[in-house]
Amino acid sequence: MELHDNTGHPRRWAILGVLVISLLVVVLDNTILNVALRTLADPVHGLGASQGELEWAINSYTLVFAGLLFTFGVLGDRAGRKRFLMIGLVLFGLASLLSAYAQSPGQLIAARALMGVGGAAIMPVTLSIISNVFDPRERGRAIGVWAGAVGLAVAIGPILGGALLEHFWWGSVFLINVPVVVAGVILVALLVPESRDPRPGRIDVLGVLQSVVGLVALSYGIIDGGEHGFDRPVAWGSILVGLAVLAWFVQHERRSDHPSLDVRLFKVPRFAAPVAIVGLVFFAAMGSMFFGSFYLQLVRGYSPLQTGLLFLPFAGAQLIFAPRSAAWSAATAVRPSPPSGWR
């Protein structure tokens, strides 16, 4: 279903609420997991996971998620955004069940990778659905609310995880996803309209494969270097292969008459600079939260709940400021100067 009379879908704000729920489950799980790392390392109350296994419990999700995010966004626009959203939610829910009842670190790592598949199917289509159901005049505000949901998940994830770990076993931090997923699937089925790209064109098969290989290789190299040190040939080899494939991807997309990503957008400074800044900020923030969780619990002796509460300033700032970003962007936008001699 498309826009109605240039005002957007009549149930667009209810649909946005459903999309926020879908997004919450993706972000919530990672922030909950950060405060559960110490418990998972415990051989009695957890799985006895080593630090490397704990890193891969997080990174297996990240690796799959990063590798498939772009591809699933393209496929969702073609096959149906609502369909992809529901498939992603179901996969995420099933993987959460498998994670909750994992009997070894290896099983947890594999289940987390499956969660990455579900998360990669969920996140990009939520933005595409917003673009479809909201008129451009309201779209910036809706995307601000969508971004604020990330802040909400970052805020409540560690606190909820800490509260669960103080009263239940470690698997509860994954099991909590299941009722959220069930509610999300029902609401998506009832409220969200199906939509597709009206002019999909041909699939850029080579570009899609290049993006997957390049992102996975680059992510793996960074993860391996962080775990074992960047003096290993495996880490730098993977990083260089990833960068080379991504450079090939950019070259291919510039020449293709049906690109899966219009890389010319990155020649526009007002687009490229904010994307780069946001990427660097979240790259640093997520790494700091992983390290901070260990430091606060193992070195400072805080409980999981106290650790979650200490992450509130970052989450609160994002929750407050993200919904206001569209208005601030419009107020501070750089406008082109009038032509010379204009009166």
Asked whether 99 and 180 are in contact (CB, 8 A), the reply is no
Instruction: List, for residues 256-294, the tens digit of each pLDDT value.
Output: 877 777 788 888 888 788 888 877 877 777 777 767 777
Residue type, 16: L
- Write down the CATH superfamily of domain 12-199+303-327: MFS general substrate transporter like domains (1.20.1250.20)
Q: Cα separation of 96 and 100, whole Å?
A: 6
Domain boundaries, the chain: 12-199+303-327
Instruction: List, for residues 16-29, the tens digit of each pLDDT value.
Output: 888 888 888 887 77
Asked whether 182 and 93 are in contact (CB, 8 A), the reply is yes
The pLDDT value recorded for residue 343 is 43
Q: Is 150 exposed, middle or buried (0-12, 13-18, 19+ CB in 10 A)?
A: buried
Tens-digit pLDDT profile for the chain (343 aa)?
444 445 667 788 888 888 888 888 887 776 777 778 778 888 877 888 877 787 788 878 877 887 787 788 878 888 888 898 999 999 999 999 999 999 888 899 999 999 989 988 998 888 888 888 888 777 777 877 777 777 677 767 777 887 888 888 888 888 888 988 998 899 999 888 888 777 766 777 788 788 888 888 887 888 778 777 888 888 899 999 999 999 998 898 888 877 777 788 888 888 788 888 877 877 777 777 767 777 887 788 887 778 778 877 877 777 677 666 666 666 665 555 444 444 4
Asked whether 99 and 174 are in contact (CB, 8 A), the reply is yes
Asked whether 74 and 82 are in contact (CB, 8 A), the reply is no
Residue type, 269: P
Q: Is 287 exposed, middle or buried (0-12, 13-18, 19+ CB in 10 A)?
A: exposed
Asked whether 102 and 108 are in contact (CB, 8 A), the reply is yes
The answer for residues whose C-beta is within 8 angstroms of residue 190's C-beta and 6 or more apart is none
The 3-state secondary structure of 160-211 reads HHHHHHHHCCCCHHHHCHHHHHHHHHHHHHHHCCCCCCCCCCCCCHHHHHHH
The pLDDT value recorded for residue 164 is 84
The pLDDT value recorded for residue 323 is 64
The pLDDT value recorded for residue 2 is 46
